[in-house]
Structure 1
Amino acid sequence: MADGGDIEGFRAEARAWLEANFPGSLAHADQSAAMVGTEPSPDLKAWIKAMGDKGWGTPTWPAQYGGGGLDRAQARVLQQEMARIGARNPIGGMGVMMFGPTLLEYGTEEQKQRHIPPIVKGEIRWCQGYSEPGAGSDLASLQTRADDKGDHFLVNGSKIWTSGGHLADWMFALVRTDFSRKHEGISFVIFDMKTPGVEVRPIRLINGVSPFCETFFTDVKVPKENLVGPLNGGWTIGKRLLQFERENLSGGMGGGASSPSAGTFGAGGSVDELAKKYVGVDDQGRVADPDLRSRIASHLMDQAAFGLTLRRAAAEAKSNQGPSAATSIMKNVGARITQERSELMIEILGVQGLGWEGEAFAKHELTTVRNWLGGKAVTIYGGSSEIQNNIIAKRILGLLDHQ
């Protein structure tokens, strides 16, 4: 780790670079290019290119693959300096959250050289092929098959809840390469979504958007070099990727410190500020309803504690070579706090929290309603709360199943 002098020198370097490269028009705005179907603005394109070329979109990834090559202390300083000017990381998505870290651990040198740089630069979008109509909670029951055809696999089957599948360039997927064994018959493969035989159908959700898809495979040819890790060794790799997913999902949930939109509504403001606006204040400037005030205070304390715990867990994960089963705890707690916040906000809005469309409702009111509905899924995606409880019981508490 860098010493204090080096850190202050890096802070000056980061501050100067950000001031020279960050478009002021993007300050405190949504700057993520991941999972977005619209064309980014010229300023956002410039910001993506600058961060990608510098490698700071993935600050701690190895420099040899285009990453920032920073240590933890430097990455923390970079985050602080970005927050100071309202800058956010424009490079993300599943390539950064899930696949990239997994490939850095399990991929061949050739695979890393080919696939990591485009992720670092935000040039490619990835999607996940895990869940199937008959293999959700029991993922190891998956039936999508990859038959060995010599120089390639022939993939047939289907996946569901493919987040961003209609926008993605490549997919990482778990497929069955041996039907005689359950967990030991699964392999991890990657392929171009433009490969003949791949069909994607968006699923319309209750909040009116279609971020998830059904994905069908009909005689999809996957070159053998696209096998990540050993044949039939995909279950171990797939579980590791899920740990990275849960770590990153929990970081964006619950109003944690790493979630830039935590606790906000509309153009800005926390849950207590929203309550003061809609419910009113007493003669001491507090939220007028004492019961609501108490519940908001409890929620904000949970949110703050969760944010601090995330920071500690992130530091421990990096010192212990990546995330652990504790990410299941973070995922469950983050999901609970996220849903609690949404419920509080809907209650605070009162009748203005019943709108779906129309001029009688402000934009942030309609957004709050849709976020509340969409947030019902956070206890399901990334592994349901029940599955996380099983992982916690077995791998953290050391409990065994009783027949």
Structure 2
Amino acid sequence: MARVAVIGAGWAGLSAALALQAQGHALSLFELAPQPGGRARSLAMEGSGPPLDNGQHILIGAYTQTLELMRSLGLSPHELLWRSPLQLTDAQGRGLRLPKGPPLLAFGRAVMAASHWPWAARLSLLTHSLRWALSGFRCAQTLTVSALCRTLHRQPHAELVAPLCVAALNTPAEQASAQVFLRVLQDALFAGNGSADLLLPRRPLAELLPEPALQALAAGGARIHAGCRALLCAPDSGGWAVRAGDSVQPFDAVLLACPAAEAARQLQAIAPDWSTQAAALRYEPIVTVYLRAEGRLPFPMVALQESAEAPAQYLFDHGQLGLQAGRFAAVVSGAAPWLERGQGGTAACAEAALAQVMSQAPLLSGLRLERAVAEKRATFACTPGLRRPAARIAPGLWAAGDYIEGPYPATLEGAVRSGRQAARSLHAELAAVARRATH
């Protein structure tokens, strides 16, 4: 049994910790924040009622490993997540609705049924989609999404591709990696029945994974250090050491699952090349504007029309999700232009989103602001040719997180996959070391 430390209790760290514990290692989990979840967490709230989350997160049917992990904890995705075939429509019902059935056929039927687009727009989208599929959803690494879609009809580009790109990659289409976007389309829209289904949380984020995972780890004997800064120290007797408070603890291996900037800072002297690469990542913010209103939307999630003065791309009806009736969440992905306005950027973004919802969601009345939450480093900027750090840093030292090298943008599924893969690789490395020691 090896002594393993996991630093960071976000979705990647928790996924890795659960896998390492299942493999029989003596686990210690360190988390600086008082609660688990990282950038997908619930916020402490005053008063009664369901807590707010730090952002409105979306899952899809293609998030197979996230759903599998939830089930392994005894959770029911059916009860915790509202599920529906993908629907990207506005408050007036205009947009794309995917029916059930084989992915390619369902997508084709949805596009042809989008009667608010002229025939030329629908044929253009189908032609481009077929071309991407025939190419194996691959393109030049240097292409942006806008360059990839330069010949696509302007309406599906503006009303579908651009908002879908900024929602999935949190990077504007003019700057976003076309290759990563195509991988998202392949796995979400064309991977199999139900892969494109929308899965929207019915409960606060803390209940979807972070709290049950922490409880399972504690029940399995893991040592949990919450609200504790853990610092990686130089190699110690063939392993690693972690400083937590006034104590220094030895470990056979360490898995860093903290944010990229923190991992880069801790590894400046230990792994300078890895640290430089992680530190070079740029970030995109997301602002979630929570609103109160009377009325309901025609669907739990509706698309909003974005412009220079209308920042949000999607609006969510929490009442329809079984959360708090009368609460709505407007999501502003790629919010950098608003936050760059200075100290009042978040407030200005919230006011603009409020005015936008008033204009574009006429079924709602009495709209007022409840709270705006800005996650300034929500995701890395997913740009063409981006070089992301590798999971392996040094012998017995690995990293996990949605920013680690891989095919996906910064998503919950990307974090879970990274954590589980890093845990498997670390376990294999430790097993190989043990075998060599016995010969």
TM-score, length basis structure 1 = 0.29
Structure richer in helix, relative to its length: 1
Task: Specify which structure has the higher proportion of strand.
Answer: 2
Higher RCO (CA-CA < 8 Å; seq separation 6+): 2
State the TM-score, normalizing by the size of structure 2: 0.27
